[in-house]
Structure 1
């Protein structure tokens, strides 16, 4: 079993990374392989709703000049996910949201039914709306959202300060343990002949309809 942890910060090894690393250590202690993937600092395209990904038929975005498809390749090989973000203006990093928009629009199938959770790091406030932004991607895509002993957040302006947030780090460790537990349950169920829930045909209700 493997968990992909996405570091959605422009800084590779600061506050967000420190939180993800704490969860990763807990996962590894439970026998789960981990990989922390950084989104980097290169420019990232936003989704332009061109529909090109649906024509490719390979769960990839038609634009292949940034990190999105490389993350989708990693996501396809993973059994669960943790996605971390710093807090900017009481929300998640805009570059991370652009990446997630395209990952879930183009490659949602490779992540369906796999457990996941969003985490946030902040100097002070804005963590809960940032976590909620990330978790919405999972909730829309039939993915169980993993919980912990508190909302999965850490506080501090640097890695050193985050390491002083003992409650935040404990929350990360328990998040990792709970994710490992959920992965084992799913793996056991599948080994015993279980399967994902059968999906009903999609019903789309339009609130505004063309008039005759």
Structure 2
């Protein structure tokens, strides 16, 4: 089993990264392969609506000059995808939005590549607006027929400056619970993935 965390924050060692690592910790402890990749601050352009992904059907975006297809390959392989973002004007970072838009479309074009995968959102917020970030990420998951686990509360951690989220005990406890829920869900659904419904086709 493989869990992929995608960091939409451009700040190295920032609060979003801290929360994602806290979520991955119980997953790694359970014996899963885990990986955290950085997209925030990297070159990831938005979707240009060329719809070439519906023509090529190769599981990739037709735009090859940025980081996206490398990320998409990992997302396709992952059993669980955890996207994390800071709160920028009540929404995700631009780089993460680009990943959401392009991966969601490529998945749809290629017979719903994300169908049956686990999807979780993690948000770093200073004061308000974090729920909208959470919703933005989960909307793509739900439209892709992914399975979204719950936790003790919204998957939010509060902090502004680097490291401040480490003082949010409730937020970190929630990340721990989220990681445990992902492991439980992965173990529960894996034997049944070949019966997961999508356009009448079975998935493995």
TM-score by length of 1: 0.88
2:142 equivalent to 1:139:
yes
CA distance in 2, matches of 1:43, 1:188: 38
Equivalent residue, structure 2, for 1:39: 39
What is the TM-score with the length of structure 2 in the denominator?
0.92
Distance 1:169 1:77 in 2: 27
- Asked if 2 retains the 8 angstrom alpha-carbon contact of 1:114 and 1:143, the reply is yes
State how far apart, in whole Å, the 2-side matches of 1:51 and 1:121 are: 33
- Number of residue-to-residue matches in the alignment: 198
**Aligned-residue CA RMSD (Å):** 1.6
Partner of 1:149: 152
CA positional deviation for 1:68: 1.1
Matched with 1:88 is: 88
- List runs of 5+ in structure 1 lacking aligned partners: 202-212
2:14 — aligned with what? 14
3-state secondary structure, aligned to 1:163: helix
Indicate the residue corresponding to 2:24 in structure 1.
Answer: 24
Please list, as runs of the form range in 1=range in 2, the aligned pairs for 1:169-208 lying within 5 A after superposition.
169-190=172-193, 194-199=194-199
After the TM superposition, which of the residue ranges 49-58 and 78-87 deviates more from structure 2?
49-58
